[in-house]
């Protein structure tokens, strides 16, 4: 067990002294995944609302795509985005490969189907009659949609948690499109992989603990929101 | 909401048609709801009542036809018209949140100031018998409580038009009648123009001023409650309303405002203004017909019609019994309590005397061709005009 004790000691001192740019790595992680989740919510919740409430041609196919997308392997997303952004790819002239925007884009593609599919399920559980009732009391289309989202809020919180969870711990796509450049595109997961490969367990363990801590804190926060929303659930 | 007296709206619908997947579900030539009145839309399940209500409430677009609110055509895009209406449905769908949040929903949409919302909500909850329930979670309520909240949520808006779609159908009988009486009082006090969809005629009788009967998407009869229930438009309506089909007769003479109507040999006395020689249809509500044992001496009463006949059928009809008797070629029905049936030892074959007042009989003229009943205003049956003159004479 000496290996763990040594690594723990090394990692702790590194966190305290701020060596090896640990906090920069954490910051980049939060920036990239935070932006990707935010975009996934902005796009995914309206898509989920449409899929869950409207009847239109292609709806079923879009649901299949969203549900399939939930199981999309991050390395496949990484590959496709890397090819799109590579020098010879269609968007090569943007020179975005190995940048944070490229990582945000890849993570957005991973999180979007998750957020859309979970929101669609949550929204479709709101009875049609309730929407009719809102309309009959004078609600506009927008007010009716807001009411529906409010009714589905427990499911929407789950969509946020699922979307965030699908990308914060993801390593394949961010490596492929970010390149793990120190101080620029190095995030917690890619750094952990690198330190471990180098046998540098101290910083790897420290970052792993921080990653776990962040996931835990985010989920505690979401659970608290869910609990306050639960007040009128029964 | 404003506290000022509200002017109730009048609604006329014209040529409304609606189909789903090629099947015509609503086909109404015309229906008028007088301002401040409650119109019961009565019909069996699947007759298109709820769809018509949704269309009148501007919640659903008709394929054809128009809706006139105070004489002006309105559509679902007409925000002001939509804000002047409110609805409550069979199942009281409440929003997650407190009872007060639910009642306040429409007020908030109308941007009523918060302080005013609170006072209006508490007043309205008091009115539906749920004072001090404001902070409860809406999802913990029983069916009857939830339906009261749904009604309060609609009434608090002081809508000019109120749409109620089977609001009592999901309740137990005790709650149902308590609420039906409450509805009747509230609707009468507030003089809101109300469309009340129901398949229950007792409910319609309790709450409504006017009634329209719907069958397979069409309105087959419309008019004052007393007229429609007193004298059904046709055999189908009669059967649906639990009545015998109207009797054919001829007015032989009129004395002091009472017509002597010959119905296949039996003479009925009817308070009316019709001239001798008129061909008429007459009907009497089963609950207006009293029965006495054949050999019993009838008590002195104003029941001028006394006909002796033979019981042909006795059947349960809810908590009462419906007794049919034949008097010569006539068939008359009476609605009796269980105790009355037992006391008279009624069974098929027993001879009884039916007694009813001359004012209890409804009558209208029929054309010589006898194609069907005509309304006094000359409109054909099925057009659903609710503005027929009062034929009670």
Chain CA centroid to CA B381, Å: 17
Test A138 with B110 for CB contact under 8 angstroms: yes
- Tell me the per-residue pLDDT of B78-104, one tens digit each, with 9 for 90 and over: 889 999 999 998 888 999 999 999 999
The angle, 0 to 180 degrees and rounded to 10, between the axes of the packed helices A22-53 and A59-69 is 150
Separation CA A65–CA A81 (nearest Å): 18
Test B106 with A138 for CB contact under 8 angstroms: yes
Test A134 with B105 for CB contact under 8 angstroms: yes
Output phi, psi for B8, to 5 deg: -65, 150
ipTM of the complex: 0.76
The angle, 0 to 180 degrees and rounded to 10, between the axes of the packed helices A59-69 and A100-124 is 120
Q: Is the pLDDT of residue B375 over 70?
A: no
Q: Is B302 exposed, middle or buried (0-12, 13-18, 19+ CB in 10 A)?
A: exposed
Q: Is the pLDDT of residue B317 over 60?
A: yes
Report pTM: 0.73
Would you state the pLDDT for residue B392?
37
Average pLDDT of chain A? 90
> Higher confidence at residue A28 or residue A69?
A28
Would you state the pLDDT for residue B373?
39
Test B139 with A137 for CB contact under 8 angstroms: no
Q: How far is A54 from chain B (nearest CA, A)?
A: 15
Separation CA A139–CA A135 (nearest Å): 5
Would you state the pLDDT for residue B235?
82
Closest listed residue to residue A36, CA positions, set A204, A178, A207? A178
Chain CA centroid to CA A164, Å: 3
Output phi, psi for B43, to 5 deg: 175, 165
CB atoms closer than 10 angstroms to residue B370: 10
Separation CA B93–CA B83 (nearest Å): 19
CB atoms closer than 10 angstroms to residue B160: 23
> Higher confidence at residue B388 or residue A188?
A188
Test A133 with B138 for CB contact under 8 angstroms: no
The answer, for B97 touching chain A at a CB cutoff of 8 Å, is yes
Whether the Cβ atoms of residue B323 and residue B317 lie closer than 8 Å to each other = no
Whether the Cβ atoms of residue B191 and residue B245 lie closer than 8 Å to each other = no
Q: Is the pLDDT of residue B377 over 50?
A: no
For residue A147, list chain B residues with Cβ-Cβ distance below 8 A: 95
Q: How far is A22 from chain B (nearest CA, A)?
A: 45
Separation CA B229–CA B208 (nearest Å): 12
* Encoded tokens for A202: 């101290």
Q: Is the pLDDT of residue B117 over 70?
A: yes
> Higher confidence at residue B239 or residue A190?
A190
Q: Is A30 exposed, middle or buried (0-12, 13-18, 19+ CB in 10 A)?
A: middle
CB atoms closer than 10 angstroms to residue A43: 15
- B367: pLDDT confidence band, cut at 50, 70 and 90? low
Q: How many contiguous H segments (helices) and E segments (strands) does chain A have? A: 11, 0
Separation CA B364–CA B376 (nearest Å): 8
Would you state the pLDDT for residue B297?
79
Would you state the pLDDT for residue B384?
37
- B365: pLDDT confidence band, cut at 50, 70 and 90? confident
Only one residue has tokens 């949140």, namely B97
Q: Compute the 3-state secondary structure of chain A and give helix, strand, coil in percent, each to the nearest 5.
A: 80, 0, 20
Average pLDDT of chain B? 84
Q: Which residues on neighbouring strands pair with residue B26, listed in sequence order? A: B18
DSSP string, A154-208: HHHHHHHHHHHHHHHT--HHHHHHHTT-TTTT--HHHHHHHHHHTT-HHHHHHHH
Among the listed ranges A81-95, A143-157, B45-59, B233-247, which one has the minimum average pLDDT value?
A: B233-247
Among the listed ranges B63-67, B280-284, B303-307, B376-380, which one has the minimum average pLDDT value?
A: B376-380
Would you state the pLDDT for residue A214?
92
The answer, for B140 touching chain A at a CB cutoff of 8 Å, is yes
Closest listed residue to residue B162, CA positions, set B49, B12, B53? B53
Secondary element (H or E) of residue B143: helix B143-155
Residue of chain B minimizing CA distance to A142: B109
Length of chain B in residues, anyone? 393
Residues near A216 by Cβ (< 8 Å), separated by ≥ 6? none
Q: Nearest CB to A137: which of B91, B137, B154?
A: B154
Q: Is the pLDDT of residue B3 over 80?
A: no
Only one residue has tokens 């036809």, namely B65
Whether the Cβ atoms of residue B62 and residue B17 lie closer than 8 Å to each other = yes
Q: How many contiguous H segments (helices) and E segments (strands) does chain B have? A: 10, 20
Would you state the pLDDT for residue A20?
59
* Encoded tokens for B374: 């005509």
pLDDT mean over B263-287: 87
- A177: pLDDT confidence band, cut at 50, 70 and 90? very high
Residues near B91 by Cβ (< 8 Å), separated by ≥ 6? A129, B170
- Greatest Cα pair distance, chain B, in angstroms, is 72
Tell me the percentage of chain B whose pLDDT exceeds 70: 91
- Tell me the per-residue pLDDT of B181-204, one tens digit each, with 9 for 90 and over: 877 887 777 778 999 998 888 888
CB atoms closer than 10 angstroms to residue B4: 7
Listed by number, the residues of chain B in 148-167 with a beta carbon closer than 8 Å to a beta carbon of chain A are 150, 153-154, 157, 163
Would you state the pLDDT for residue B385?
37
> Higher confidence at residue A79 or residue B91?
A79
Q: How far is B110 from chain A (nearest CA, A)?
A: 8
Tell me the percentage of chain A whose pLDDT exceeds 90: 61
Q: Nearest CB to B140: which of A136, A147, A234?
A: A234
Tell me which long-range contacts B115-124 makes (C-beta under 8 A, separation of at least 24): B120/B1, B120/B156, B121/B156, B124/B152, B124/B155, B124/B156
Strand ranges across the sheet with B305-317:
B290-293, B351-356, B305-317, B320-327, B330-336
Residues near B45 by Cβ (< 8 Å), separated by ≥ 6? B199
Would you state the pLDDT for residue B148?
87
Strand ranges across the sheet with B266-271:
B266-271, B258-263, B247-255, B279-284, B361-365
């Amino acid at each position: 067990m000496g290996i763990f004790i040594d690594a723990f000691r090394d990692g702790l001192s590194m966190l305290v002294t701020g060596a090896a740019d640990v906090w920069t790595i954490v910051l980049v992680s939060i920036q990239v995944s935070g932006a990707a989740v935010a975009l996934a919510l902005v796009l995914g919740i309206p898509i989920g609302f449409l899929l869950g409430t409207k009847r239109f041609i292609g709806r079923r196919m879009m649901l299949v795509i969203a549900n399939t997308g939930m199981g999309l392997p991050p390395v496949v997303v990484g590959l496709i985005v890397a090819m799109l952004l590579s020098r010879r790819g269609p968007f090569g002239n943007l020179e975005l490969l190995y940048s944070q925007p490229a990582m945000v884009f890849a993570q957005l593609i991973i999180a979007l189907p998750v957020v859309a599919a979970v929101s669609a399920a949550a929204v479709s559980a709101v009875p049609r009659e309730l929407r009719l009732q809102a309309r009959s009391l004078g609600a506009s289309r927008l007010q009716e949609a807001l009411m529906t989202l409010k009714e589905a809020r427990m499911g929407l919180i789950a969509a946020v948690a699922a979307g965030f969870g699908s990308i914060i711990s993801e390593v394949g796509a961010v490596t492929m499109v970010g390149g793990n450049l120190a101080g620029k595109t190095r995030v917690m997961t890619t750094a952990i992989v690198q330190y471990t490969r180098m046998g540098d367990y101290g910083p790897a363990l420290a970052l792993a603990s921080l990653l776990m801590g962040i996931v835990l804190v985010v989920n505690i926060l979401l659970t608290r929101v869910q609990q306050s929303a639960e007040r009128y659930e029964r | 909401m404003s506290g000022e007296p509200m002017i109730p709206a009048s609604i006329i619908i014209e040529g409304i048609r609606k189909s789903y997947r090629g099947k015509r579900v609503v086909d109404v030539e015309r229906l008028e709801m007088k301002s401040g009145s409650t119109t019961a839309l009565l019909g069996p399940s699947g007759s298109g009542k709820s769809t018509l209500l949704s269309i009148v409430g501007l919640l659903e677009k008709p394929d054809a036809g128009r809706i006139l609110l105070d004489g002006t055509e309105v559509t679902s895009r007409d925000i002001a018209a939509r804000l002047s209406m409110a609805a409550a449905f069979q199942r009281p769908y409440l929003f997650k949140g407190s009872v007060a949040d639910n009642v306040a929903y429409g007020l908030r949409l109308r941007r009523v100031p918060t302080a005013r919302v609170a006072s209006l909500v508490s007043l309205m909850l008091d009115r539906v018998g749920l004072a001090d329930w404001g902070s409860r979670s809406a999802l913990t309520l029983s069916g009857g409580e939830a339906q009261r909240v749904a009604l309060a949520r609609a009434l608090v808006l002081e809508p000019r038009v109120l749409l109620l779609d089977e609001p009592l159908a999901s309740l137990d009988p005790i709650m149902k009648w308590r609420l039906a009486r409450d509805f009747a009082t509230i609707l009468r006090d507030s003089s809101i123009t109300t469309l009340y969809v129901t398949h229950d005629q007792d409910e319609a009788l309790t709450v409504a001023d006017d009634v329209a009967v719907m069958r397979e998407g069409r309105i087959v009869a419309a008019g004052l409650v007393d007229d429609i229930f007193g004298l059904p438009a046709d055999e189908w309506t009669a059967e649906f309303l639990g009545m015998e089909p109207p009797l054919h007769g001829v007015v032989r003479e009129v004395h002091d405002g009472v017509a002597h109507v010959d119905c296949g040999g039996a003479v009925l006395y009817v308070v009316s203004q019709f001239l001798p020689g008129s061909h008429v249809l007459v009907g009497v509500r089963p609950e207006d017909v009293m029965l006495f044992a054949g050999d019993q001496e009838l008590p002195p009463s104003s029941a001028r019609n006394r006909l002796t006949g033979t019981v042909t059928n006795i059947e349960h009809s809810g908590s009462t019994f419906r007794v049919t008797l034949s008097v010569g070629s006539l068939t008359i029905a009476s609605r009796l309590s269980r105790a009355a049936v037992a006391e008279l030892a009624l069974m098929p074959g027993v001879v009884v005397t039916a007694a009813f007042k001359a004012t209890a009989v409804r009558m209208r003229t029929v054309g010589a061709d006898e194609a069907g009943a005509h309304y006094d205003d000359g409109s054909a049956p099925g057009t659903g005009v609710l503005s027929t003159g009062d034929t009670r004479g």
